[in-house]
A and B are shown apart, each in its own frame.
Chain A
C-alpha cells in the first residue's frame, strides 16, 4: 500500500476530500494525515489569506484521480436543488465579502450572477449526475415500477426546467436593472410583429402542404391495400371462377368449388377484419372449419361450423378432438342423407364440446352395424385415450348427433 501510494502521481481525491479533495490527495501522496494537511491550509489562510489562494491554485492544477470521476463524483447524496441553492448562496456570500473588502462593481450584477450560479449548478448537476437523479436509486431506465419511473422522470424534467428558467432570467434581470430592457423590448416587439405577419402569410401554404402530405400518405396506404386485395382475389376467386367455367357440366363439382372458395374468402375477410396473426396456432373453430372444408370437398355435402367461445391455440388433446370430429363429420356426410351437416363447438372453462349432427335416419349405438365400426374405433376410442368421451345420440326423426367432450386441463 505504502509503496504504491508513494509511486502514485499527485491526484485530488474529491471522494474522500472535504472541499475539492486537494488535502486528501496530498495526504495520499505524502503519507501524512489529511487532517494535518488541512490544518496547514487553514493556518495559512488565517495568517495571510494566501492559504485560500494556494488551495484554489492547487485545486485548479492538480488533476482529479480517475477512480473518482464520472457519476461517483456526484454521488454525494444531495439533491440537485440543494446543490443549486447552495451554489447561489455561496456566490452571494462571496460577493458580499468582496463588497465589504471594497472590491465592488455595480449592484446590478449581483442578482443576475446569483441566478446564473444557482441555475447553472442545477443544470450541471442534473446533466452530469446522469441517471443517478436520486441517491441510492437504480438508474432511471432500470426503474422497475412504471409509476415511480414516471414520477422520477417528471422530477428530472422539472428540475431541468427550473435551472433553465433561472439561467434565462438572469440576463433579463440584468437588462432590467441597467435599463437596457426597454430597448430590448422594442426590438423583441418588432421581431414578434414580423413573426406574426409571416405566420399569417405562410400559414395557408404550410397547412396545405401538411394536408397534402397526409392525403398522399393515405392514398398510398389505400393503394397498397387495393393491390393486396387484388393479388388475393386473383390468386383465389378468379382461379376458382375459371375452374367453375371449365367444369360447368358437373354441377356437383361446381357447387363444391364455390363452397370451398366461399369458405376461404370468408376466412380471409375475417382475418383482415380482426388482424389475425397467421403464424399463431389455429383455434378450435379455425381447425374445425378447415376440417369441414376438406370433408365437404371430398364428399360434396355441405358442412356448417359454428364455434362459440374460441380459446387459445390447440394442444395435443385438442388436435385429437378435431381428428375425432373429422371422423364424425365423414360419418355424418355418408349417412346423413345428403342434407347439410351441422357442427357446433363450444369452449367453456371446464370443457370443450363438439356436436356433429346430421339429419339421417339415426341409428342405435348399441347395435352399430359393421360398416360403422369407425365410430367406435376412431371416435369413441380416440376420445377416451385423450381423457374425453364421445356419445352418439340417435333419435328417429331427429337425426343423429355425435357429442364429443374433452375436459380442459386445470378445470
Chain B
C-alpha cells in the first residue's frame, strides 16, 4: 500500500498507464487527455516498475492481465520500492479471483474496461483523493465473499451476515456497509447513495474505504481462496 500522501486536490492527477495492449493505452490516453495529466505508459511489468519509480505518478492505471505476473506483480514490486502512487486496476476480466487478487495486493479500486470515459476519469480522481472505487460487479463479489458467518468453511452463498462479532470485525460487514455495497451493485453513484440513505457523500466514501480495508486484510476463506486461485493460474 501507498504511504498515504495527502493529495493535492487542485491540480490534475499525474497518471501513468500500464497495459500490454498499445491500442488500449492510446484509447484511454485520448479519453482522459482533458481530465488528467498522463505522464507515461508502460507495456511490461519491468517497465511499469521502473516508470513508477522514475515518474512518481499520483495514480497508476493498471491492467490486471499481463505477461510475467500481471498487475499483482507490479503492485508487489512497486510496494517493495516504497511507492506513494495509488493504483486503479483496469481489466477486461471481471472474474472474482482476478478482482480480489489485485485488491488484496493493494489496488484502491477496480473497474472494467467497458467503463465510460467520464466514469473512468471520475474513478481516477476518486482514487487520487484516497477513496476506493468499486465497480458494481466488485461490490457483488464482496457481498458474496462476506455473506455467511465469518471464519473458515464455505457456506452456501447468500446467507445474510450475522451480527458483527467483536473479535471478527475484519471478517464481517456492518449492516450499513452492506447497504452501501448493495446500492453500488445496483449501479448507484456515491452521491446517489448518499441521497438515498440520507447520509453525506463523505460518509459513503468512509464506508467504502472501510470495506476496501476489510477486503484487503480479512482472512475470510472465500477471499484467500480467490487470491490463491489467481496465483495458481499465473
- B-contacting residues of A (Cβ < 8 Å)? 266, 269-270, 273, 302, 304, 306-311, 340, 342, 344, 346-350, 355, 357, 398, 401
Contact = CB atoms under 8 A, between A and B. Distances in A.
A308 B186 contact: no
Given A306-B136, A398-B196, A347 B158 contact: yes
Given A344-B182, A348-B160, A357-B186, A306 B196 contact: no
A270 B95 contact: yes
B151 interface: no
B160 A349 contact: yes
A398 B185 contact: no
Interface bin, chain B: 20 to 34
Given A308-B144, A398-B196, A355 B158 contact: no
B182 A310 contact: no
A344 B136 contact: yes
Contacts of A401: 186
Contact of B195 (A269, A304, A398): A398
A270 B95 CA distance: 8
B97 to A, nearest CB: 8
B140 A308 contact: yes
Contacts of B195: 398
B147 A342 contact: no
Contact of B140 (A306, A349, A350, A398): A306
Most buried by A among B156, B158, B192: B158
Given A306-B185, A308-B185, A344 B159 contact: no
Contacts of B62: none
A266 B95 CA distance: 9
Contact of A349 (B97, B114, B159): B159
B199 interface: no
B146 to A, nearest CB: 10
B143 interface: yes
Interface string B163-187: 0000000000000000000100111
Contacts of A344: 136, 140, 182, 185-187
Interface string B111-138: 0001000000000000000000000110
Contacts of B140: 306-308, 344
A273 B187 CA distance: 27
A310 to B, nearest CB: 6
Nearest to A352: B158
A308 B136 contact: no
B184 to A, nearest CB: 9
Given A308-B140, A398-B195, A346 B182 contact: yes
B143 A308 contact: yes
B157 interface: yes
Nearest to B138: A306
A309 B95 contact: no
Given A344-B140, A344-B182, A309 B147 contact: yes
A269 B92 CA distance: 13
B192 A310 contact: no
Nearest to B112: A304
A342 B159 contact: no
Contact of A310 (B97, B114, B158): B158
A304 B144 CA distance: 17
B157 A310 contact: yes
A350 B159 CA distance: 9
A349 B192 contact: no
Contacts of B97: 273
A164 B163 CA distance: 61
A309 B139 contact: no
Contacts of B192: 398
Contact of B157 (A266, A309, A340): A309
Given A308-B143, A344-B187, A349 B158 contact: yes
Most buried by A among B95, B140, B144: B140
A358 to B, nearest CB: 9
B111 to A, nearest CB: 12
A309 B158 CA distance: 4
A313 to B, nearest CB: 14
Contacts of A304: 136-137, 187
24 contacts: A266-B94, A306-B136, A306-B137, A306-B139, A306-B140, A306-B185, A306-B186, A307-B140, A308-B157, A308-B158, A309-B143, A309-B144, A309-B159, A310-B158, A342-B187, A344-B186, A344-B187, A346-B143, A346-B182, A347-B157, A348-B159, A348-B160, A349-B158, A350-B160
Contacts of A302: 114
A254 B137 CA distance: 24
A266 B186 CA distance: 20
B186 A348 contact: no
Contacts of B137: 304, 306
Given A270-B95, A308-B158, A398-B192, 15 more contacts: A304-B136, A306-B136, A306-B186, A308-B143, A308-B185, A309-B144, A310-B157, A340-B187, A342-B187, A344-B182, A346-B143, A346-B182, A350-B160, A398-B195, A401-B186
